[in-house]
Structure 1
Amino acid sequence: MTVQSRRERPAKPALTRQGIIDAALQIMNAEGLRKVTMRRVATALDTGHASLYVYVRDAEDLHAQILDALLAPVVEATPPEGTWRDRLKALLIGYHTVLRERPELARMALSTQPSGPHYLALVEAILNLLHEGGADDRAAAWGVDMLLLYPTAIAVEHTQPKPARHASGDLDTLTAVLAEVDAARTPHIARLGHLLISGNPSTRADWALDVLLDGILHATPPPG
């Protein structure tokens, strides 16, 4: 067996932050976010894992950078026309889609605060649209968290999607329970049971965003 001299091997590409993120994305797409560790990425890049710490703080930071990279097209896809509310909803739906398609990232987003350039561009776009809609500065600044938390939480809710037959079975069970509640003990549930499970997910999500936006615009101004 002929052993190739190190001097004859092609030089490795210079290690960069973007190169680390690209390698992490490839691993996540192929094997899932749990496999995106500093050592796993270092192996993919043929380097020591200690070298990565020059560019990312730790695995949590690396995961946040993956999310930031995936957010790059979200702001760009916001329709240039339409009301400020419609454009803001489209922006938030785009954010939700990124997380819904990668549920492991959704769970991560609940506990890790992204701070990359594309996430900041998303926040900037939300603030701009809230300003266009007439929200005061403090309400807009505080409202951003609520607006991003809702699509994140909905994505987390579906991190372990059930087979369609199970989901249908759960709804059938809930429907049966609501139909048999004691009206004397739970009169509101008895009267509104059919409404509690009405509407499709898209319609309910659109309504929920309207509730949040109306609240941001019309709630009592927060204390200074």
Structure 2
Amino acid sequence: MGSSDAGEVVRSRRERPAKPALTRQGIIAAALAILNEEGLSKVTMRRIAAALDTGHASLYVYVRDVEDLHAQILDALLAPVVDAAPVAGTWRSRLKALMDGYGQVLVARPEIARMALSTQPSGPNYLALVEAILALLHEGGATDRAAAWGVDLLLLFPTASAVERTAPKPSKHATGDLAAMAAAIAAADPGRSPHIVRLGDELISGDGRSRFGWAVDVLLDGILAAGSRARTGQSR
């Protein structure tokens, strides 16, 4: 009877379907599935290992650490950004659309937006995004250094903006903070704050999209101007 039971165990193990080979792509896919269903806080090595029916130590052959995992998750989410960017229009309008697309990815996933502030991706989708930005800056006339250094600023702004827009706060505060600011401006002393009083309406004007586009324009103008100053040898 004992040998029969052992035979049953052996047969059942042999009949189990083979597990798919562990790969970096498979690990990232599992991480994204957990992210979508349970949130970033649940994306741990042990949770991914459980989803893949393997030991968590085996994941480190393919993913260096949690920071590397986060960078790969962000890179995977960037896949549609460059593909969805318009190919028609001025270099500036295309670049602004690219920045908007990147920002929308982060706004849609607040946890990823906060994580992106301290994560440096280097995967193929991130490099494709950087390449697209550099190409458009070159088309717009930016110098090599201004374009290379400007990429950081252009990516940092949508990231920080997404974090601000998606910061957790009670819904009742969404309009309350703006109303409090408007009241403070209206009550400002013209003697102590003449510029605030004069520009009070402008300080709180415009919606988020308009301000985002304006800010990107300011960054682009600054990048172009910095290159122009460098060419002529001017200093600040």
**TM-score bracket for this pair, using the shorter chain length:** over 0.9
Matched, 1:120 2:111: no
In 2: Cα distance, 1:221 partner to 1:69 partner: 37
In 2: Cα distance, 1:192 partner to 1:67 partner: 40
In 2: Cα distance, 1:158 partner to 1:62 partner: 25
| Contact 1:56/1:62 (8 A) holds in 2 | yes
**SS at the partner of 1:221?**
helix
Q: Which runs of 5+ in 2 are unaligned?
A: 1-7
Q: 1:69-84 maps to which residues of 2 (within 5 A)?
A: 69-84=76-91
Question: Displacement of 1:21 after TM fit?
Answer: 0.4
Matched, 1:216 2:216: no
Matched, 1:40 2:40: no
Question: Displacement of 1:161 after TM fit?
Answer: 4.3
Counterpart for residue 107 of structure 1: 114
Amino acid at match of 2:54: T
In 2: Cα distance, 1:20 partner to 1:197 partner: 45
Question: Displacement of 1:107 after TM fit?
Answer: 1.2
Counterpart for residue 179 of structure 2: 172
In 1: Cα distance, 2:134 partner to 2:119 partner: 21
- Which of 144, 149, 152 is the aligned partner of 2:156? 149
In 2: Cα distance, 1:191 partner to 1:198 partner: 13
Counterpart for residue 16 of structure 1: 23
In 2: Cα distance, 1:16 partner to 1:129 partner: 35
Per-residue CA distance 1:159-205 (angstroms, 9 max, x = gap):
33445532111111111111001111111111112111011111111
The RMSD of aligned alpha carbons is: 1.6
Q: Which runs of 5+ in 1 are unaligned?
A: none
Amino acid at match of 2:208: P
| The 10-residue stretch of structure 1 (11-20 or 188-197) with the greater mean CA deviation from structure 2 | 188-197
Counterpart for residue 135 of structure 1: 142
**SS at the partner of 2:21?**
coil
In 2: Cα distance, 1:145 partner to 1:164 partner: 32
Choose between structure 1 and 2: higher helix proportion.
2
**SS at the partner of 1:111?**
coil
In 2: Cα distance, 1:56 partner to 1:71 partner: 19
Normalising by structure 1, report the TM-score: 0.95
**SS at the partner of 1:5?**
helix
In 1: Cα distance, 2:13 partner to 2:68 partner: 33
**SS at the partner of 1:178?**
helix
In 1: Cα distance, 2:113 partner to 2:175 partner: 24
Among all aligned residue pairs of Structure 1 and Structure 2, give the percentage whose two residues are the same amino acid: 73
In 1: Cα distance, 2:47 partner to 2:179 partner: 44
